[in-house]
Structure 1
């Protein structure tokens, strides 16, 4: 990690790391792809494509979830948003006069209103104030519009948190549904845990780097710290020669009251 990363804020650091991982993300993000597939299947089960005409996707990244949404709903218009402007180059097969890309911080960007669906997959855990975003989304939705998203719960990457003492302030399913209850009627709420295994602790770290999810941690990986991390990861978590990394996705579909 370069020292200059220590001089920038969390949003800039997240943007920088996801931008660097854009090329490797498609291949490496197998869990995120599985989550996107599950989220899309839930939407197919709960919603009629005919009522989803205007779509806003938050945190579109390289477009894994975006392509599923386009195939499922064939929206009349769709706005793809991501913090990283560089993601536009990964979306060229999607973009046309009906599907546009708008970079920017979704918590602050002044989106036009009246969407039938605001969707997001594996992105809201990075937000400073998810509750404020839920309120903002409510104002952007058409009457009876849908807010649908996946995020991550408290057990997410628990192995990393146990060894480094660092992690995002993940919310529980109950906390999220509590935030939504004043303005939304829940259609679906569920969670699961997915375990991805690796042969070594170094492979765990490479996986995190290649998906950009090293997030807002700014500590330098000295040789000594790296050696200690790998040794402890293997000592504590090794199961029959494999090292686990836990993902804890939460799935929400809610209708605007």
Structure 2
């Protein structure tokens, strides 16, 4: 704990919340990948019981909160740690939807109160994923489902490799190895689970297009060990040269490894 009684983990969460709050106004303009992988998760969802309770964890701008409400014809609760995202979502959504500031690792929901939990590209920002999974298990009713996707190791590998040719700082967000994720899923206590990995490769004409997109999404580097201050021109030239080595016919590649996960709480589990 620091002098003010705040852990480094809490500081990281504040940085995450602030980064995504700042990105609220630009997120939807550049979220093509996010739409694609979220729609793929939506297509995997089981049909929840009639009159069920649904929640979208890490709802962001509310795109999938609204999609869930439309698909299942019932209200959905949108939860996010970033107040700026919630304000943006509230202003652009029907009054039938509710929005609550919440941490996925400490959900403000009653135990056994939800039938379906949905979370698209949010849980990779949780410092303690096992705690987020434990919270999901707690708030789900017996027979309920938690559906989420998350980025795993190998994501933005081209950018990471290019930076390694320039300096030793952490410039790219670290993501969990798939084997570690699978182990956590197996230990989370659910009756059954399924995990499938999708590989998405986007292409950019210039490196600046990728870096500007990451900033607009609020997903630029949030890890400890990142360099402070502005990145010098010489290092940017070095990064550009290192990334250009990887150029393909379609442009500069940026790979995203996305784990699509379904977790099912047993009917006899409380």
- In the TM superposition, what is the alpha-carbon distance from 1:10 to its structure 2 partner? 1.9
How many angstroms does 1:16 deviate by? 2.1
Give the Cα separation in 2 of the matches to 1:246 and 1:60.
Answer: 23
List runs of 5+ in structure 2 lacking aligned partners: 1-7, 165-169
Contact 1:79 1:99 in 2 (8 A): yes
2:150 aligned counterpart, secondary structure: strand
Give the superposition deviation at 1:109. 4.2
Listed one character per residue, the Cα deviations across residues 98-129 of structure 1 (whole Å, up to 9, x for unaligned) are 52111132213433331101110001111101
Q: Aligned residue for 2:252?
A: 243
Alignment of 1:147-226 (within 5 A): 147-164=146-163, 166=170, 167-182=172-187, 183-217=189-223, 218-219=226-227, 220-226=230-236
Which residue in the other structure is 1:87 paired with?
A: 85
What is the CA–CA distance in structure 1 between the aligned matches of 2:18 and 2:239, rounded to whole Å? 24
How do 1:1-257 and structure 2 match up within 5 A?
A: 9-43=11-45, 47-51=46-50, 53-75=52-74, 77-91=75-89, 92-96=91-95, 98-113=96-111, 114-164=113-163, 166=170, 167-182=172-187, 183-217=189-223, 218-219=226-227, 220-235=230-245, 237-240=246-249, 242-257=251-266
Looking at structure 1, the residues matched to 69 and 244 of structure 2 have their Cα atoms a distance apart, in angstroms, of: 42
CA shift, 1:245, in A, is 0.6
Aligned residues: 245
Cα distance in structure 2, aligned partners of 1:34 and 1:52:
28
**TM-score, structure 1 length as denominator?**
0.87
Could you say what the CA RMSD is over the residues aligned between the two structures, in angstroms? 2.2
| Cα contact 1:173–1:190 (8 A) shared by 2 | no
3-state SS of the aligned residue for 1:31? helix
Structure with more contact order per residue of length (Cα contacts < 8 Å, sep ≥ 6):
1
5+ long unaligned stretches in structure 1? 1-6
| More off after superposition, 188-197 vs 210-219 | 210-219
Structure 1 residue 61, shift from structure 2 partner = 0.5
Change (3 A) 1:163 1:190: same
Judging changes above 3 Å, is the alpha-carbon distance between structure 1 residues 171 and 211 closer, same or farther for their aligned structure 2 residues? same
Mapped contact 1:67–1:94 kept (Cα < 8 A): yes
- Structure 2 vs 1, CA of residues 72 and 56 (structure 1 numbering), >3 Å: closer, same or farther? same
Measured after TM superposition, the shift of residue 9 of structure 1 is 2.9
User: For residues 73 and 93 of structure 2, what CA distance do their matches in structure 1 show?
Assistant: 12
SS at match of 1:181: helix
Which secondary structure does the structure 1 equivalent of 2:146 belong to?
A: strand
Secondary structure of 1:216's counterpart equals coil
Deviation at 1:159, TM superposition (A): 1.4
For 1:228 and 1:241, locate their aligned partners in 2 and report how far apart those are by CA, in whole Å.
22
Are the structure 2 counterparts of residues 144 and 173 from structure 1 closer, same or farther at C-alpha, using a change threshold of 3 Å?
A: farther
Whole-angstrom distance in 2 between the partners of 1:146 and 1:51: 14
